Structure 1
């Protein structure tokens, strides 16, 4: 997002929320980094009031922390946070995928197959670092097929934290692995057995959770029993 985009906007605080989130996803801001209101406002050529409003919204979303006498900083995700994000996503998306089975049409199947084919073509391309854009599209597309507006709203409410976690996973597994994981997921979805779909979605998300915790988490929560009953 270009800094100049803020100058003539009415919804400055909403734009600033998006701006800070974008900097997090691209790694320009990292967990633990301080946000100095005066400095950021000056860099963006705006007053501190909309920035303060944006920060308070991000505090409410659990992305930013304000600590007395220390200031504002990007909140570190704890092992418990990571577990809660993945376990909640596993339950929500497994339900969405099952509901999507009853609403899918032949053109939806063709679309997912085309997505897989495009991903496969990019696996051996040196110009493509990650398939995260394609994998996110697959999940979003099937979630939308659930046609369950409240469920979609809840999934959307955690989508940024899911994206933030996924952004840290780039480079932790190969494009081939990404393709194989989603080929398996779509295969089960096309076959159409609700129990198999539920199990595969939960297993798929659990495998991603394991990759993340193995790479970044030294102090794991006691989660084994939970994943066994999913």
Structure 2
């Protein structure tokens, strides 16, 4: 295992298993851990400065997400992330985004709409300044407001499991020339539908937004044609 993990900070240890899981999953998604690499529980624990138990629990969770595989007589190895896996996640994300936006339209409050309007503007401004990390963080907040406004814990839970994937895919999608301007229009379409409490339209524009994001990601990641 060539990649070396930095020790977890003390203030991260409140939810140590979740922290370890996020660290390992991000390393796989960022290709710091490549397909076929073996994950050695003891080595990871030593590098992170923790016991082996949370590492074992995190690896078990990675198995459930099919990011790693138990191979007889070899141990746990990184499975990798195929294009088919990505397309499946993008399709699930699109359906869930459309659903939760439709639900949110019936419950969203005026203060949330004002926050969405402010964030939509900030996202575009920060992207225009080249502050891509900040822009992506604000984009996460934009969608988080809608998720919570829906007051649908089960749908929220499903979306939360995809959060890291969606964030990384969105970062790539935003690198497509002109995508920032498209997002500005799409975000405002979503806000308009939500402000009119129009569930049907909210579902339509949220689905279109997610689909356009998926197309932008696939274009930039695989140079697919529009």
TM-score, normalised to structure 1, is 0.77
Does residue 82 of the first structure (1) align with residue 86 of the second (2)? yes
Q: Where in structure 1 are there 5+ consecutive unaligned residues?
A: 220-230
Residue of structure 2 equivalent to 1:32: 35
* Match for residue 142 of structure 2 among 128, 138, 145: 138
- Between the aligned partners of 1:104 and 1:7, the Cα distance in structure 2 is 34
Secondary structure (helix, strand or coil) at the match of 2:124 reads helix
| Structure 1 position 117, deviation (Å) | 2.3
Q: Higher relative contact order by CA 8 Å / sep ≥ 6: 1 or 2?
A: 1
Residue of structure 2 equivalent to 1:227: none
Does residue 209 of the first structure (1) align with residue 220 of the second (2)? no
Aligned residues: 218
Kindly tell me: are residues 126 and 92 of structure 1, through their superposed partners in 2, closer, same or farther at Cα, counting changes over 3 Å? closer
Q: Where in structure 2 are there 5+ consecutive unaligned residues?
A: none
- Between the aligned partners of 1:71 and 1:80, the Cα distance in structure 2 is 25
Cα deviation code 1:83-111 (max 9, x no counterpart): 22122222222121111111122212111
Residue of structure 2 equivalent to 1:14: 18
Does residue 183 of the first structure (1) align with residue 202 of the second (2)? no
Q: Cα RMSD (Å) of the superposition?
A: 3.2
Kindly tell me: are residues 62 and 160 of structure 1, through their superposed partners in 2, closer, same or farther at Cα, counting changes over 3 Å? farther
- Between the aligned partners of 1:6 and 1:137, the Cα distance in structure 2 is 26
- Would the aligned equivalents of 2:6 and 2:47 in 1 still touch at CA under 8 Å? no
TM-score, normalised to structure 2, is 0.78
Q: Which moved more, 1:53-62 or 1:36-45?
A: 36-45
Does residue 109 of the first structure (1) align with residue 79 of the second (2)? no
* Match for residue 57 of structure 1 among 42, 57, 61: 61
Does residue 171 of the first structure (1) align with residue 175 of the second (2)? yes
- Between the aligned partners of 2:223 and 2:176, the Cα distance in structure 1 is 16
- Between the aligned partners of 1:47 and 1:195, the Cα distance in structure 2 is 50
Secondary structure (helix, strand or coil) at the match of 2:108 reads coil
- Would the aligned equivalents of 1:41 and 1:48 in 2 still touch at CA under 8 Å? yes
Kindly tell me: are residues 145 and 49 of structure 1, through their superposed partners in 2, closer, same or farther at Cα, counting changes over 3 Å? closer
Kindly tell me: are residues 177 and 3 of structure 1, through their superposed partners in 2, closer, same or farther at Cα, counting changes over 3 Å? farther
